[in-house]
Structure 1
Amino acid sequence: MEPIETERGDDGGEGPAVVVRLLGPPRVETRGTPPPAPRGRKPWALLALLLTSTGPVPRGRVQELLFPDAEDPQAALRWTLSQVRRAVGDAVRIAGDPLTCEIGEGVRVDVVDLLAGRAPAGWPLTEATLPLLECAEPDVPEFAAWLHGRRHALAQAGARLQRRHRTRNHSPASRSAVRELVRIGEHVMDSGAARDGTGILAGAVRRARELGDDVVLAEALAHYGRGYVHAVASTDPGAAAALREADRLATREGLAEVAALARRELGFVATATGDFPTALRMLESADAAAGERPEQRAGVAHVRGFALIDTGLSEWAVRELDAAVGLAEAADRPRAFTAAVAMRARARLQRGEDEAAAADVAEARGMAADLRWTSMRPWIDVLHGEVLLREGRAAEAEAVLADAHTLAEVLDDACWIALTSRGLAVARARLGNPAAAVTALDGACATLVADADVCCWIELHMRDTLCGITADLDRDAALSQASTLARRAEHTGLAEYAVRAARHRARLGDPDAAADARARALPHDNPALLRA
Structure 2
Amino acid sequence: MARIRLLGPPAIERDGAPARPPRGRKSWALLAYLVLTDRPPGRRHLAELLFGDADDPLAALRWTLAELRRALGPAASLGGDPLVASFPADIEVDVLLLGRDPADPAALLELGGELLEGVQLASSPAFDSWLLVERHRVSAVVEARLRQAAYALLAAGRAREAVPYASRAVARNPLEEGNHELLVRSLALAGDRAAAARQVAVCEDLLRNELGLTVSPALREAASAGPGRATVLPLGGRAAAAGQLEAGRAALLAGAVDAGLECLRQAVAEAARCQDERLRATALLELGKALVHSARGRDEEGVVVLHEAIQLAGQEGERATAVTAYRVLGFAEVQAGRRGTAESWLGRAQALAETDDELAPILGVRGMNASDRGDYPAAFELLGESAERAHRCGDQRQQAWSLSIAARAHLLRAERSQASVALSRSLELVRQQRWMAFLPWPQTLRAEADLLGGDLEGAGERLEHAWVLACRLDDPCWEGMAARGLGLLHAAKGEHRAAARWLDEALARSTRVPDRYQWIHAHVLDTAITAALGRDEHERARPLARALAALAARCDMRELVVRAHLHHWRLGEGRALASARLFAAGVDNPALLKDVPA
Shorter-normalised TM range: 0.5 to 0.7
Partner of 1:216, secondary structure, is helix
Change in 2 beyond 3 A, CA 1:282/1:434? same
Q: Structure 1: where are the runs of 5+ without partners?
A: 1-165
Q: Confirm whether residue 172 of structure 1 aligns to residue 237 of structure 2.
A: yes
Equivalent of residue 359 in structure 1, options 394, 418, 421:
421
Once structures 1 and 2 are overlaid, which stretch shifts more, 264-273 or 207-216? 207-216
Distance in 1 between residues matched to 2:420 and 2:317, nearest whole Å: 42
Alignment of 1:323-334 (within 5 A): 323-334=385-396
Equivalent of residue 406 in structure 1, options 468, 473, 476:
468
- Structure 1 residue 367 displacement after superposition: 0.8
Q: Confirm whether residue 394 of structure 1 aligns to residue 456 of structure 2.
A: yes
- Structure 1 residue 308 displacement after superposition: 1.2
Read off the aligned partner of 2:467 and give its amino acid letter.
Answer: H
2:480 aligns with 418
Read off the aligned partner of 1:188 and give its amino acid letter.
Answer: A
Alignment of 1:61-80 (within 5 A): none
Distance in 2 between residues matched to 1:196 and 1:423, nearest whole Å: 33
Change in 2 beyond 3 A, CA 1:235/1:199? closer
Maintained 8 Å contact 2:568/2:576: yes
Distance in 1 between residues matched to 2:465 and 2:512, nearest whole Å: 26
- Structure 1 residue 282 displacement after superposition: 0.8
2:558 aligns with 495
Distance in 1 between residues matched to 2:288 and 2:237, nearest whole Å: 22
Distance in 2 between residues matched to 1:443 and 1:343, nearest whole Å: 23
Cα shift readout 1:233-266 (whole Å, capped 9, x = no counterpart): 3662111111111111111111111101001111
- Structure 1 residue 391 displacement after superposition: 1.2
Change in 2 beyond 3 A, CA 1:210/1:344? farther
Maintained 8 Å contact 1:188/1:197: no
2:540 aligns with 477
Q: Confirm whether residue 184 of structure 1 aligns to residue 250 of structure 2.
A: yes
Once structures 1 and 2 are overlaid, which stretch shifts more, 199-208 or 269-278? 199-208
Change in 2 beyond 3 A, CA 1:167/1:416? closer
- Structure 1 residue 173 displacement after superposition: 4.1
2:433 aligns with 371
Partner of 2:326, secondary structure, is helix
Distance in 2 between residues matched to 1:271 and 1:309, nearest whole Å: 10
Cα shift readout 1:360-397 (whole Å, capped 9, x = no counterpart): 11011111111111111111211121111211223321
Partner of 1:338, secondary structure, is helix
Distance in 1 between residues matched to 2:234 and 2:282, nearest whole Å: 24
- Structure 1 residue 484 displacement after superposition: 1.7
Distance in 1 between residues matched to 2:232 and 2:509, nearest whole Å: 42
Change in 2 beyond 3 A, CA 1:372/1:510? same
Maintained 8 Å contact 2:408/2:445: yes
Read off the aligned partner of 1:483 and give its amino acid letter.
Answer: R
1:148 aligns with none
Distance in 2 between residues matched to 1:203 and 1:355, nearest whole Å: 49
Distance in 2 between residues matched to 1:431 and 1:194, nearest whole Å: 39
% identical aligned pairs: 31
- Structure 1 residue 501 displacement after superposition: 1.2
- Structure 1 residue 435 displacement after superposition: 2.1
Distance in 2 between residues matched to 1:465 and 1:167, nearest whole Å: 47
Alignment of 1:161-310 (within 5 A): 170-174=235-239, 176-189=242-255, 193-233=256-296, 236-290=299-353, 292-310=354-372
Read off the aligned partner of 2:247 and give its amino acid letter.
Answer: L
Cα shift readout 1:137-193 (whole Å, capped 9, x = no counterpart): xxxxxxxxxxxxxxxxxxxxxxxxxxxxx997732242653553354245324xxx4
RMSD: 2.3
Read off the aligned partner of 2:429 and give its amino acid letter.
Answer: M
- Structure 1 residue 203 displacement after superposition: 3.9
Cα shift readout 1:394-429 (whole Å, capped 9, x = no counterpart): 332122111111111111111111111111111112
Q: Structure 2: where are the runs of 5+ without partners?
A: 1-230
Partner of 1:376, secondary structure, is coil
Distance in 1 between residues matched to 2:445 and 2:261, nearest whole Å: 26
Partner of 2:494, secondary structure, is coil
Change in 2 beyond 3 A, CA 1:507/1:391? farther
Equivalent of residue 454 in structure 1, options 516, 521, 527:
516
Give TM-score scaled by structure 2 length. Answer: 0.57
Distance in 1 between residues matched to 2:232 and 2:555, nearest whole Å: 48
Distance in 2 between residues matched to 1:324 and 1:285, nearest whole Å: 17
Partner of 2:437, secondary structure, is helix
Distance in 1 between residues matched to 2:588 and 2:430, nearest whole Å: 31
